[in-house]
């Protein structure tokens, strides 16, 4: 029996990805002077450049694919604003790769804001790079042997996954049959890529390392110990120990819907203090964290149970959600699907019934999910910062914990509410427990309010 080669592992990964719905193209085909696939020997040769999507190997984003996707996703935004958003996403300049990665992640999640002036007021277009609500509007592409040149170094990651031309996932594959090609060696290769071609990792959501059998995933700030396996392809049970981890990881973690769910809801950046023993100085660094497989499935199931208990109806075919909860409510004035996905930091709280009411409320109202109203969170009005504010209806929603039951806090709240009301706002308060235990009633009360208009 012939030994397995790295090329065979790469081909296997690409086959699995194509089965999930990814398109595939060879890196050489779309590079500078890109050539088409080999043709039969009896046909005339073709010249280079016909398939070119990159003008140089220093480019890491597939610009035309990104430009086309932005136009497709944001048809109502002016073309010049869309182009500005594309340029802003493609030109993130920072000497710190982690800072650039965090800035790009904010573009993905919060959209790219392009300011403009209308009727004397400063406004902004919010341009989406990815359509998280409609997965089918995005383009998913797997590219192997993607050559990148930077800092006088040329590197060629084994497989790169692109969403709308953005390189979100990098694979480094080794051969388990080669005693010198270990999983740790794959991790070291990713570290080399980060040092030599850092521009590729500005856009990186996470990386995958594998020797064809074992496979793990981690972020740009993960040490080897923080690269972890994905042990279930469906969240119902762990895969057999005889199933290659690479297969389980691809099938469980990388279906397009699951990938977007992970990017949107299960990646967080945390500030961490690092003490330099030599200098005695303390440096604050950003640590990027990706949910483990058990956190991902547990949070989604916990939130689904919470919403079902509150009376929200699931979609007719919940087996197709692949990690995204897409629930509809019964409010007569509600404008669309009730989409609510959990965050990594809520995992333990949800399991112990100590969920943050503000975080849950924000997920339920953000992006105009409730009555088509745009809310802002932690919004400053005068000397006060309110929990949630809707300028269109001059509505303030406060979620109160137990501290608001104290007499001193109640007096402070009364003064605060009088000031906010005097400015023409309506202030509505709910106890945290009301939202956690009976969210349907909370939203029914909000729906029935006589709401004013902004002056």
Q: What is the mean pLDDT of residues 147-157?
A: 93
Q: What is the pLDDT at residue 13?
A: 94
For residue 274, name the pLDDT band (cuts at 50, 70, 90).
low
Q: pLDDT digits over 237-250, tens only?
A: 888 888 899 999 99
Per domain, the residue ranges of the chain are: 1-254, 357-455
| CATH class label, 357-455 | alpha beta
**What is the per-residue pLDDT across 378-435, written as a single tens digit (0 to 9) for each?**
877 766 778 899 988 899 999 988 878 888 888 888 888 888 888 888 999 999 888 8
C-alpha distances out from residue 23 to 49, 208, 243, 322, Å? 20, 19, 25, 19
pLDDT band at 47 (very low <50, low <70, confident <90, very high): very low
Q: What is the pLDDT of residue 322?
A: 36
Nearest to 323 by CA among 295, 346, 350: 295
Residue 272 has pLDDT above 50, yes or no: yes
Place of tokens 């290769």: 189
**For the segment 102-141, what is each residue's pLDDT rounded down to a tens digit?**
999 999 998 999 998 887 788 889 999 999 999 999 999 9
> Any residues with CB less than 8 A from the CB of 101 and at least 6 apart, and which?
201, 202, 203, 204, 220, 288
For all residues of the chain together, what is the average pLDDT? 81
- The length of the chain in residues reads 455
What confidence tens digit (pLDDT) does each residue in 57-70 have? 999 999 999 999 99
DSSP-assigned letter for residue 239 = P
DSSP state of 95: S
């Amino acid at each position: 029996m012939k030994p397995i080669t790295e090329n065979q592992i790469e081909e296997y990964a690409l086959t699995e990805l194509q089965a999930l719905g990814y398109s595939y193209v060879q890196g050489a085909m779309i590079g500078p002077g890109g050539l088409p696939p080999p043709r039969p020997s009896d046909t005339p040769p073709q010249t280079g450049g016909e398939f070119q999507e990159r003008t140089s190997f220093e480019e890491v984003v597939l610009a035309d694919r990104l430009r086309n996707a932005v136009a497709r996703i944001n048809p109502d935004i002016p073309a010049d604003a869309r182009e500005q958003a594309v340029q802003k996403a493609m030109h993130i300049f920072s000497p710190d790769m982690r800072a650039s990665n965090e800035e790009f992640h904010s573009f993905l999640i919060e959209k790219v804001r392009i300011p403009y002036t209308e009727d004397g007021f400063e406004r902004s277009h919010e341009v989406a790079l990815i359509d998280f609500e409609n997965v089918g509007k995005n383009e998913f592409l797997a590219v192997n042997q993607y050559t990148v040149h930077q800092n006088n170094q040329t590197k060629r990651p084994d497989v790169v996954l692109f969403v709308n031309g953005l390189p979100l996932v990098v694979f480094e594959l080794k051969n388990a049959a080669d005693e010198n090609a270990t999983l740790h060696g794959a991790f070291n290769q990713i570290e080399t890529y980060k040092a030599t071609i850092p521009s590729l990792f500005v856009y990186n959501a996470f990386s995958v390392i594998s020797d064809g059998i074992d496979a793990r995933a981690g972020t740009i700030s993960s040490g080897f110990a923080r690269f972890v396996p994905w042990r279930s392809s469906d969240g119902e049970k762990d895969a057999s120990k005889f199933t290659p981890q690479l297969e389980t990881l691809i099938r469980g973690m990388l279906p397009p819907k699951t990938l977007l769910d992970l990017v949107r809801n299960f990646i967080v950046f945390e500030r961490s203090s690092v003490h330099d023993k030599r200098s005695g100085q303390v440096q604050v660094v950003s640590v990027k964290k990706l949910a483990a497989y058990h956190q991902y499935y547990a949070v989604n199931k916990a939130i689904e149970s919470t919403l079902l208990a509150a009376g929200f109806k699931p979609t007719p075919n919940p087996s197709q959600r692949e990690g995204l909860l897409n629930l509809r409510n019964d409010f007569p004035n509600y404008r669309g699907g009730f989409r609510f996905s959990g965050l990594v930091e809520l995992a333990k709280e949800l399991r112990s019934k100590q969920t943050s009411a503000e975080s849950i409320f924000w997920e339920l109202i953000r992006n105009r999910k409730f009555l088509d109203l745009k809310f802002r969170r932690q919004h400053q009005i005068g000397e006060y910062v309110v929990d949630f504010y809707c300028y269109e209806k001059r509505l303030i929603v406060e979620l109160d914990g137990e501290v608001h039951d104290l007499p001193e806090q109640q007096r402070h709240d009364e003064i605060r509410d009088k000031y906010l009301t005097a400015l023409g706002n309506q202030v509505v308060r709910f106890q945290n427990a009301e939202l956690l235990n009976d969210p349907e009633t909370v939203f029914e009360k909000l729906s029935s309010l006589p709401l004013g208009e902004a002056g």
